[in-house]
Amino acid sequence: MRASGSSLRSKDLLGIEALTPEEITLILDTAEGFKEVSERPVKKVPALRGQLVINLFMEASTRTRVSFEIAEKRLSADTLNFSASGSAVEKGETLIDTADNLVAMHPNMIVIRHKHPGSPQMLAERYPTISVINAGDGAHEHPTQALLDAFTIRERLGRLQGVNVAIVGDIKYSRVVRSNIHLLTKMKANVTLAAPPTLIPTEIDKLGVRVVHSLDEAIEGADVVMMLRIQLERQGKLSFPSLREYYNTFGLTRERLRRAKKGVLVMHPGPMNRGVEIASDVADDPNYSVILEQVTNGVAVRMAVLYLLGGAHGE
């Protein structure tokens, strides 16, 4: 067992739920050190030299896959990108068989995105010597996204404790929101969720968050407004009458943002549906939007996670 406080207890990062506040702080503090690496003339450090990281992306991703790959390369790890399309998965190979074959080539870490919740945990239990990082599993968790969101908030506002965060939109189908709720409540931020009733899972208030059904109510007094993407691909049919109506009731506009605190941060995990959950002029306004900063910080946070999991695992 590794000592708490200065290291992570687990060999894997499967979700935020299992992390302690101390572990979250360690990852965020470590990421501060890594942010500087991306600003150097030579954007590379030898920390993970000779380690092989497999990026196993069984579901579409641009931002997260690219961000992990850049983070791995800046740490000098060897990277191998594996995606479902164009592989034997299309011939019907199962995840276990695919993973067994990849593991036979001795990787040190696997970064996995999969549509089935729990697939990262299954791999983590199957391979006791390999670190598994969850890059999004179904509607379960997306821990590195929550960590980079928290990093961005902490960097901008100087703290997480007591910060009022409104999370608006597709609560039901979003793994980002689940990881964010775990992280923000562990760090003693105040979380308010807002969405049409059809997009709010029952009993979500048991996670220690406030639930409201109007955007204005959620934004009132918020330090941070986090907009979620309407996940059209995960919904069988729309949970509201039309995208137009969704925009009119839950879309973030400049007008609506007036109810928030001065200096409010607008965040979005991407990819954005402009004109559905967020107005284009708000998304692009540097006075509010930290959406591209989130992307920049994502690399530093993922470097921190890779570094903390990639070192020695002391007994």
Partner 1 sequence: MNVKKRLLDGARMNRAIRRMAIEVVEKNRGLEQLMIVGIRSRGVPIAERMVAEIEQMEGQPVPFGILDITLYRDDLTTIAPNPVVKPTKFPEPINDKIIVLVDDVLYTGRTVRAALDALIDFGRPKQVMLAVLIDRGHRELPIHADVIGKTVPTDADEVIKVKLAETDDGEDEVLLMEK
Enzyme catalytic residues: 63-64, 91, 113, 142
Structure tokens at 185: 């409540």
Q: Does residue number 32 form part of the binding site for partner 1 (CB under 8 A)? A: yes
Sheet holding 109-114, edge to edge: 78-83, 52-57, 109-114, 131-137
Burial class (CB in 10 A: 0-12, 13-18, 19+), 149: buried
User: Do residues 196 and 239 make contact, with C-beta atoms less than 8 angstroms apart?
Assistant: yes
In the complex, least distance from residue 106 CB atom to partner 1, rounded to whole angstroms = 14
> Which of residues 33 and 197 has its CB atom nearest to partner 1 in the complex?
33
Q: Which residue in 46, 92, 128, 158 binds partner 1 (CB under 8 A)?
A: 46
Nearest CA among 155, 205, 151 for reference residue 181: 205
Q: DSSP letters of 218-265?
A: HHTT-SEEEE----TTT-SS-SSS-HHHHHHHH-B-HHHHTTSPTTPE
Q: Which residue in 42, 86, 129, 233 binds partner 1 (CB under 8 A)?
A: 42
Q: How many CB atoms lie within 10 A of CB 169?
A: 30
Q: Does residue number 22 form part of the binding site for partner 1 (CB under 8 A)? A: no
Q: Which residue in 122, 177, 304, 305 binds partner 1 (CB under 8 A)?
A: 304
Q: Which stretch binds partner 1 (CB under 8 A): 98-106, 170-178, 202-210, 306-314?
A: 306-314
Write each residue from 248 to 287 as x if it is in contact with partner 1 (CB under 8 A), else as -, in one continuous string: ----------------------------------------
State the amino acid at position 21 in one-letter form.
Answer: P
In the complex, least distance from residue 11 CB atom to partner 1, rounded to whole angstroms = 11
In the complex, which residues of this chain contact partner 1 (CB under 8 A)? 2-3, 6-7, 26, 29-30, 32-37, 40-42, 44-47, 75, 304, 307-308, 311-314
